[in-house]
Structure 1
Amino acid sequence: MAAPAKDPYINGHHESVLRSHSWRTAENSAAYLLSSLRPDMHILDVGCGPGTITIGLAARVPQGQVIGLENTAATQEQATASAAARGLTNVRFIVGDALALDFPDNTFDIVHAHQLIQHVPDPVKALSEMRRVTKPGGVVAVRSVDFSTFTWFPELGIQQDLLDWRGTHIRVGRALGGEPEAGRRLVAWARQAGFERSHITASASAWCYSTAEERAWWAALWADRILLSSFAKNVIDGGFGTQDDLDRMSCAWRKWGASEDGWFAVMHGEILCRV
């Protein structure tokens, strides 16, 4: 089987992808970190996407500074506009490489990454870089999904199609150099990056979608992502499936969303690493 063309992110930056990323906030995606914040902290948010979590962190450190870093300028304008709309002047967005952070050692009080680590080809290197630019006594905070833990109900009529979607996503992600089961590996990777085990606090949390509004939103964005984002090209070009397979998986998502019994849970691993 041929490997798909390399892309920085399995789904690219299609509107259907940013639709989900823009829903994320410091409250619903970085709750494990919030108690560590102080008003005067300097924070680096690596892999910030459209900046919604970054902006939430900036609002909590009004005497500090926050930098959001992404490997493409595709989301920079949206992130900057969102910060301006909130009236925040202590946050800015730049383009950079998570594997070669362009900052001196011991620069930040907190270095944070949400969902980044599952996509980078060398997660230990990324964590080492995050550790390098964090001040002694500071914190590296990482949260990442574990794709194999995705679970849903009901199963009747759609189970195999959604299992195929989950399995295809995992295979494509790994072919692109990532690790979709990153959540369970965070502690091991952090230790390989030089953190002492006693300095690592591990936790887990979940997103859950079950109300009619939540189901409609979650189902529609995945149904669209399967067909319209870079995922479709990666599947077909890499020989992981056909257009018929994509159509079938997308349809299954819409069937799930239409079910009043619908329930979907997404588990994440989390680590707070004291430098």
Structure 2
Amino acid sequence: MTQPTLFEGVFPAITTPFQADGTVDHDFLSEHARWMMRAGSRGIVPLGSLGEGNTLEEAEKTAVLRTLVSALGSAPVIPGIGSLSTAGAVRLAQAAQDAGCQGLMVLPPYVYTSDWREMKAHMAAVISATDLPVILYNNPIAYRTDFQPAHILELAQEHANVRAVKESSADVRRVTALAATLPAHVELMVGVDDLLLEGVAAGATGWIAGLVNAYPAESVQLFNLARGGQLKEAADLYRWFLPLLRLDTGIKFVQLIKQVQAEVGRGSAQVRAPRLPLTPDEVREVQGLVAQASARQPALV
């Protein structure tokens, strides 16, 4: 059997669980990560957008990484590396390597958005801070910085440890452009939940997923069916999953996904300010989607 490539498979963008007092729940974090790995995930991606990384202090981020590395042993922990400053992102990248992480997902800087010259300088500094393999994270909707295929190719040509791109523009044409542009050593990863089938069809080899936090077995099976060319079976499962997967695409995607976790008994809906809990109407909407999914739960193989 052919061995999976470096970033091939399902990589949960793990949510950060909080206790009632607002501190990180490290015990649940460990159990939750192990549960998703047992379902067939390839590695864990903490501290990203879904992980509320921009609300965590630097010491909290390092503590999350140490907890996950300890909990998962040899399984890859690939944290999101984001900061208001380049120096802060470099420090976090180096702390991740010191903690035993096996890769990095590098974000553009929070808040400040400028031209490619400045963005490239930031990305290059973080990429060069360690020798760990790097996933470039392109999410223009969230971060107002759009790494064009030519920009990504430029970084990949200049930095040998750039090994993948998480593409979250939600533009399937961008996915196909990247698939045609990227060198062989740089993998393409789907970064939005409701573009999985289309992304794999275009050539994506990995999925950094959100609803996997509540439905890991279904997520892994969907990915495996798509990658294996079992298109009818994949399409059937995708249709069942899509109402939930679409929760990953709005402004309140963190609250919505955490609410799904709470509904299926796999976590708390608690978020950290400035995010607020969902309104009662929003909670009822999520409960309806979960009930609908439960009533038509597919048989998994």
Higher relative contact order by CA 8 Å / sep ≥ 6: 1 or 2? 1
- TM-score w.r.t. the length of structure 1 is 0.38
More helix by share: 2
- TM-score w.r.t. the length of structure 2 is 0.35
More strand by share: 1
